[in-house]
Amino acid sequence: MSLSPLAERLRPKKLDDYIGQDHLVGEGAVLRKMIQSGNISSIILWGPPGVGKTTLAKIIANTLDRPFYTLSAINSGVKDVRDVIDKARKQQFFNHPNPILFIDEIHRFSKSQQDSLLGAVEQGTVTLIGATTENPSFEVISPLLSRCQVYVLQHLDKEGLIKILDLAIQKDTDLKTKDIVIEEYESLLRFSGGDARKLLNILELVVLAEEGPKIVITNDKVTDRLQSNSAIYDKNGEMHYDIISAFIKSIRGSDPDAAVYWLARMIEGGEDIKFIARRLLISAAEDVGLANPNALLLAQSCFDAVHKIGPPESRIILSECTIYLATSPKSNSAYEAINMAQQLVKQTGNLPVPLHIRNAPTKLMKQLGYGKDYKYAHAYEGNFAEQDFLPEQIKKERLYRPQQNASELKIMERLKAWWGKRFER
């Protein structure tokens, strides 16, 4: 009899055996408290693949002793949703607690499919637990989203992943019969990308390829096994995040050929076109930025057009936007500026707004000096008047630093003309 996959065999059944997500299920954390109270509301678990969304849903159902129905958005339709809801309603007559309906990849549910859930969720016929790798603000309809709490799951850290590997070797019925030694963890962790399911798949792949009484796992051995078994490694779309990473990095690296190739890989693999369009929007702002501000406008137009047109023609729009971004000059100055600004806020706290640039809608505020000595820029030559806009404690900080591209060199010229030495540093 063939064994189920290692990841399935090791799926924890109790909350105390669950690894990771301490911010949600650790001692005193919000989800643990909710589960311990026995009163779970409808929730959406948002996080990358392999971090335990499905496992957590099953643990919740087991702990609360609730009937558990599961649907996959990939192969379930409105009829399947209604069938589950009908079963749940019939169970209410027998004083059973309302079932948990777990929907994997809920972001792939259409509006009509999500609409079909509303009544049952609102009336408490079912407790919905949705799992998604996509931002639910974009993919879940507002009426349904407003009835659910959203909890964000994070990539597992190094300690958590190593713990999973060690548990697999020690406790799995098949692996513990072998003499397995992990000499090096680096490649196992690197190729897994924080995905526990992928990590266990890699471990199982390497172990199955070995012969002899003792199995020694090294970085080179892991790399060799994955390269020679790329089809196994890539099954069920596990390369999803690797390919989108290659796509974005090809755009950032100004290689239109590579960017279009990875775009084609995603399209042929059935990737959600809206997911691709959103990543293009992010790349336009983060990687092209102020070197070509029109890039963000084009990416926004691409995003809107893809939503209106859909496949297969949307591939042409995505290709046009991809090539435009890849061949645009690059600047991450806006990305760096907001990073530095947020870090500065964390370091300095809530510094007071300078009095002269505060709003003064009342007489008392004016008497207190709000707005006093403010210089209205449009009243000055060139629509500019030098004055301080940052809090006193940080008024010499530089956050935006123009980079060496044609667009930002012009920006730098304007800033120097206005501010002089401040922008010569």
Q: Is 59 exposed, middle or buried (0-12, 13-18, 19+ CB in 10 A)?
A: buried
Q: Containing H/E element for 70?
A: strand 68-72
Asked if CATH classification 3.40.50.300 holds for the domain at 20-152, the reply, yes or no, is yes
Selection from 273, 274, 281, 323 nearest residue 299 by Cα: 281
Sheet strands (E) in 112-159 = 127-132, 149-152
CATH topology assigned to domain 240-326: Zinc Finger, Delta Prime; domain 3 (1.20.272)
What are the C-alpha distances in Å from 251 to residues 211, 282, 288, 307, 398? 43, 11, 9, 22, 28
Q: Which two tokens stand for residue 326?
A: 């890849």
What pLDDT, on the 0 to 100 scale, is given for residue 196? 87
pLDDT value at 138 more than 80: no
How open is the CA angle 320-326-328, to the nearest 5 degrees?
100
CA distance 218 to 206: 10
% residues pLDDT > 90 (the chain): 35
Residue pLDDT, tens place only, 120-129: 888 888 889 9
What pLDDT, on the 0 to 100 scale, is given for residue 284? 97
What pLDDT, on the 0 to 100 scale, is given for residue 238? 46
pLDDT value at 258 more than 90: yes
The class of domain 158-236 in CATH terms is: mainly alpha
Residue pLDDT, tens place only, 37-62: 888 889 999 988 888 899 999 999 98
End-to-end CA distance of the chain: 71
Confidence of residue 319 (pLDDT cuts 50, 70, 90): very high
Confidence of residue 95 (pLDDT cuts 50, 70, 90): low
Q: List the 100-104 sheet strands across, edge first.
A: 68-72, 100-104, 127-132, 43-46, 149-152
Residue pLDDT, tens place only, 190-249: 888 778 888 898 888 888 888 777 888 888 888 888 766 554 444 344 466 778 889 999
Confidence of residue 391 (pLDDT cuts 50, 70, 90): very high
Residue spans per domain, the chain: 20-152, 158-236, 240-326, 349-423
pLDDT value at 279 more than 60: yes
Average pLDDT, the chain: 86
pLDDT value at 254 more than 90: yes
What pLDDT, on the 0 to 100 scale, is given for residue 229? 56
What pLDDT, on the 0 to 100 scale, is given for residue 256? 94
CA distance 91 to 85: 10
Same CATH topology for 20-152 and 158-236: the answer is no
What pLDDT, on the 0 to 100 scale, is given for residue 239? 61
What pLDDT, on the 0 to 100 scale, is given for residue 93? 60
CA distance 329 to 185: 39
Neighbours of 414 (CB within 10 A): 13
What pLDDT, on the 0 to 100 scale, is given for residue 94? 58
